Structures are given as C-alpha cells and as structure tokens.
Structure 1
Amino acid sequence: MIKKWFQNIGPGTLVAAAFIGPGTVTLCTTAGVNFGFNLLWAMLLSIIATIVLQEMAARLGIIAQKGLSEVIREEIKVPFLKQFITLLILSAIVIGNASYEAGNISGGILGLETILGEISYNIGELSINFLSIAIGIIAFVLLYIGNYKFLEKALVTLVILMSFSFVVTAIITQPNIGEVLNGLLVPKFPEKSLLTIIGLIGTTVVPYNLFLHASLVKERWSQKEDLKLAKKDTIVSIILGGLVSIAIIISAASIPSKDILNAADLAKGLAPLYGEFAKYFLALGLFAAGITSAITAPLAAAYVAKGCLGFKGGLQSKWFRLVWMIILFLGVLFSSIGIKPIEIIKFAQIANGMLLPIIAGILLWIMNKKNVLGIHVNSKTQNVFGFIILLVSIFLGAKGILKVFNFI
C-alpha cells in the first residue's frame, strides 16, 4: 500500500516543496516565537484554501492538457486585457522568482552553515560564498537533466527529508498536545498579530504555484480517469506541506528567547534545550526547504514564460532552459556575493500583490467554462469556497502592496 502511494505522489509534492521555502520557514519561526501556538489556526485555514485552489489548477491541467498561462492567453479575447494580464503574470512570476531566488538559495545556505560553518572566499572587499555556488550547481544539474520523472523523484525525496526533519524537531520539543489542538481549532488574535496572520496565509496561498501545478500535472497525467489520483496527490501533499509549517511553529514556540529572527537562530536556540540532534534536524530541514524552492522557482518561471510567450517543446527545449538558467544564475550571483536587489524585490512584491486576486478571479471564471472543462466545471460548493478565497486574496494583495509603500 505504501509503495502504491509513493508511485502516485508527484506534482502536488512539488507544489508543497515550492511554498515551504526559507520565507515560510522564517515567518513560521517568528509566529511561534512571538505568539506560541496561538496562530496555528491561521496555518490550518491556509492549508484548506491552498487545497481548494490547487485542486482547481490540477483539474484544469489534466482536462485541458494546457498550463494555466496558456488557457488564460486563449480564453481572454479582449486584446488590451490579455496584454495587461500577460505582462502582469510575466512580471510577477518571472521577474519575481528571479528576485526571490537569491533568498531561496540563501535559506539553503543558512541550513548548511548551521552544520558546516561559513565557507567563503574574500577577493578584496568582495566575499564569495561557496555554499551558494554548490546549491546552484545541484539545482542546475537536476533541472538540466530535463526528465520530469527524475526531477519529481529528486524533489519528493527532498520534501520527505524536509518533512521528517521539521516534524522530528517538533516532537523533540515535547509540546502540550491539548494546547496545540486549541491553537489549531480556536482562532485567536493576540495583540500585534494581524500582519503575521496575513503573512502565514500569504506565504502558503502562492500565485506561482497555480501555474506550476497546472503545468506539472499534464506532464504526469493525461486521462480524465486520473483526476482522482491528482486530487488525492494534491490533498496529501498540501497537508504534508502544512504539517511542516505547523511543526516549525511548534518548535519555535518552545524557545523562551525572543531574539530568534530566522530558522538558523532557532536551530542554535534549540541545541542548549534539546541537544545537538534538534539543531541538526532543523538545519537539515532548512537546507531541504531552500534547495527545493531554488529548483521549483526557476521551473515555475519557465512554465509561465512558455505559456505566455507560446514557446514550443518541453523541459529540454532551448527557450525553456534559457529562462530557468537566467533565474538560477541571478539567484546564485546575488546570494554568493550578498547583494539584495531591493528595488526589484519591491516591484515583484507589488506585481504579486496585484496578481493573486486577479489570478484567483480568472481561475474561478475559467473553472466554470464548459468549453474548457466540459462536465468537470466547478460545483456550487467549490465556487462558494473559491469566492471566499478570492475575497481573502484581495485583502492579502492590498496588504502586500500597502506594505511595500510603508502604509502599514
């Protein structure tokens, strides 16, 4: 039974790999340190919302046998609107993932440095971090092989490693199960927690995962009969990813110090209380989170560029490879020499803030079009859930844009 389950998991696990990146790990860490178990309910809400949207993206990919950006390009008939949305998607996903890629690689570095220490070389005033180059090489090799099944197995292995590492760390801290369940099931709004709550939802319900998922499922499945497998894969994988986030919050809640700013600090803070094992498990999880996101971000950007610009060919095509190579190169460059392209990141945050509600709305619209999905259009219940998530995404998008301009 376990062997059969492993044979059927795939695209959903890659989506979980994408949203459990260094940013999510850091946010979950600060949520646990500052608010204990009180914000676990927000994580549970995020998991439900992500399952609803990702199931729609997976269903679209299997039935239409096209990526989300391809369907959008075909279904929006108004030229100006099509051009605006295409430009927005390219800006948010391709430019956004290029600017966030350095953070993904840096997250993997933090995990390795917690175990190995810093490995860098100074050239005058310039310091080059060799660990970022090593992570870049690993990501490059996995992507360049260009075989979906191989890439899927590699990422599934990393996700299992990541999940095991974080869950074991949470168990080591011996949390009070009653308090954990209370935090999961009873919504609470501690003072100054609103932005953290919004952040927990925003790092889980990610626009680029909708594009990634719709493109990946058609690499794996092509028959309508595969919908059940895709749905099970989505639910199990997103819950697994959510469990990782919950485990990080639980681990962080056990630290009495408020000086924990990221997962590397958390790993060092756990060592005196729970032994070196806790530190190494958490560091290993952080490395896996960084490297999986460092692989899925360029992959998602390449799929989006392919759909928006009409590239032909698959994972091994020239243009597909060129897109992910540029994004990976920029990530390695910025992380290895410690540059943060602040203005580009701000632009990407604004574009993503606009994209999330627009794509959630377009996805809902497409999921009700019989010419695209036939009998597999949304049910009334799916539309109700989708509409609620759309309202939340509008709120999240507005918050993200206001935050960039320091209005909140």
Structure 2
Amino acid sequence: MPARTPLTCLACLLAACAAPPGTAESEVPCGIVDCAVGEDMLIPDYTPPPDFGKADREGVEDTLRQNTMDGVLDAADVLDLFDAAGQRVGRAEMRVIRDALESTDFEVTDDAVRTALDMALVANLFEHERTALTDDDVLTYGGSDLPEAVQEFVARARLNGAIAYDVQEVDEDDGELVWNPYPSTTPPVENMTFEYTEVTPAALLADLNDTTTIYNRIAGTETAEYCDAAGDCQDYQRARYVEQVGGTGGIAANYDEVYHPDIYARGTQGQRWANNCAILSDGSIHCLPAARRSVIQDLILTNPHLSRCNSYAGYEEGCRHLLYHGHIDVRDGVVTGVEMSGRISKRAARGRATFIDPIGLLEAWGFELSPSLRLRFGNTTAGTPLRDVERHTVTETP
C-alpha cells in the first residue's frame, strides 16, 4: 500500500475531474480506465478495536446480581454493568442490561433507564462520534437538528442489540470485508460532505419544490478521446448531460461505468441522490450523490463510501459507523422502497447480527411513507430476517 498522502489541494483534484489528468494510470479517472479496485489505491487499513477488559455475558450477569441485592437498579448500577462489559459491548451483554431494565425482580429507577439509553447510543463508537453525540446541542453529522424521537429510537434499538458496524472490518479467518464486499476510500469533501449526502424530510420537500436550481442531468453517454503525455490515444465513454431546471424530490437508482466530468450531475430522472443509502451512527440518513463519483474519481461509489472511512491525512475523523446500508427509493417526496443489502440481510437471518429497523427510523424522522411500503431483503438464501417493530430492530427469524 502506498504512503498516505494529504488532500492538500482540492482545487487540483477538482481540475482532475474536469479533464483527464496526468500520465500515470493510477491518476486517470475511473471510467477512462477500469473502475476496479487497484493495488495502488488508498484503502484504509483496519485496526481491530481493543478487546482488553471485555467480559462475557456471565460476567455482566454477576455484576447485576451483586448490584441489585439492595432491591434497586439505579444509574450508578447501570454504569457498573457497562463497565463490566468492557471496551466492546457485545449483543449478549447489551441484552442482559436491557432485560434488567425490564425486570420486575427489583425496582428500576427512571435514571437507570435514561443512563442505559445514553450509554447504548454511543456504545462501541469512535471517540469523535461519541463527542458529537454527547454535545449539549446535538446535531446530525450533516448539521441538521437531530429530533429527540430519532435519538430515542436509535438508543432503544442499540439497547436491544442493534449493531453499529465499521465497514472497514475484516474477517479474521478469510481476510474479506465483513459487512460489504466494497471498500470505502473517500473523505467527507465536496459532493461527499455529510451536509450534501444527508436526506431529511425538509431536504426532500425543498428539492420537490425547487423551481430555480440549474444543473446537468445525465442523459446517456458519448465517445471522447484521451491522450497521455506520450501521445498514445484511446477512445472512452463519458457521461452526456443536458441542462435541467428544478428538483424532483426523488431518490432513484443510477449506475454506469463511464467517466463523469461533473460529479454534481443529477441522475437520469433529475434525482440529486442515488438510492444507495446508509444510516449513520447518529441516526441520520445519507444517500450517495446521483453521479456516484467523488472528487477522488477512483471508484464507482458504493454504500460503504457513506461511512467516509479513508486513508487521507487530516481526515481520519471523517469515519463513521453505520447502522444500516441498502437501497431507499423516493418518488415525489414519498418513500416507496426500502431494502437491506444482501450481506447484512444474510447476517441478520443467521442470527449473527441485529440491525436497526430502517422503516421505523424513517417514521421517527417524519418522512412520508407509501402505505404499501415493506422492508425488502437483498439476500434471503439464509432465511428472511424479522422486523421487530416493538424493539426497533431487524433480527433473525425465530
């Protein structure tokens, strides 16, 4: 892997998007060369989280028994339970804490419940995420107001075992990425800032009612010629655009393997966002820009890129955990489709992980949902996961 280099000149990178740069193949944008993962790409290394101090389920249960001998479970007792769980709170340990809060064997104080929810919300996150979510004035990573209903929904889902996962995680046995087969390489800059990719009910409504914004809409492809410094030339395909005015309030699929001179171009239906979406650890919903290219122009953007995990110096704290990734379709401001990606659907069905309920979260945000909306799953070869509305989760079928 090459040495990590800083993003010192975004203007230079943007210029590279406007015209094919350089002579080295690694500098030629995706679409002129193959949009495949290359050996020289800046793909983040995965650093496993610390395991020291980790207890098993029985250890947390022992702490619970000791701390409730007085007949009360209070906030201090809950903090002891999380401390007993160690640096990483597993699903089994989290469920011990949840079950304790629902127990009738002892008195559970209101402060105990509140403390457990607050601790569950930030469990296993990076320190910069924890800081953002514990500020007095809590905003989304994109800078929007974070509704209390959303914070409560996410906290309860996490307390019920919903995982916050690092898309960089690698399986120790086979060395493959755990949560998705594609890497994340792009920092939160330009059309991949959290502000640009965040989707809220207000953002959809504003886009639906927009009658003045002028932009390029993808309208097909055209042939162009690229010549390197040695004078060797080749034909390639690039996106063809038409000028369009006004928004659509829509989110729809968009995929191609051609070069995109305009990374802010909208999709063929005039949509600002592609339907490749994710829920970040704060509960905010984000979808890829419709062109599915970033200023880096290294790959076709996929769901893991929404984590913003990257190898560029100065952007280490851009990385976020995900609670869900998949496809969300919106037409005229109304959510018409929600699908969990295949790999996480499979893990849920096998009981290997519990995830947040994306439809319930959309409701908590106040999105308008189609009456026929149902949660779809990208891979059901291992069974169909169960949407547990009461627990705010998606989990294995009993």
Q: Which one has the bigger strand percentage?
A: 2
| Pair member with larger Rg | 2
Task: Please give the TM-score of this superposition, normalised by the length of structure 1.
Answer: 0.23
Task: Please give the TM-score of this superposition, normalised by the length of structure 2.
Answer: 0.23
Q: Which one has the bigger helix percentage?
A: 1
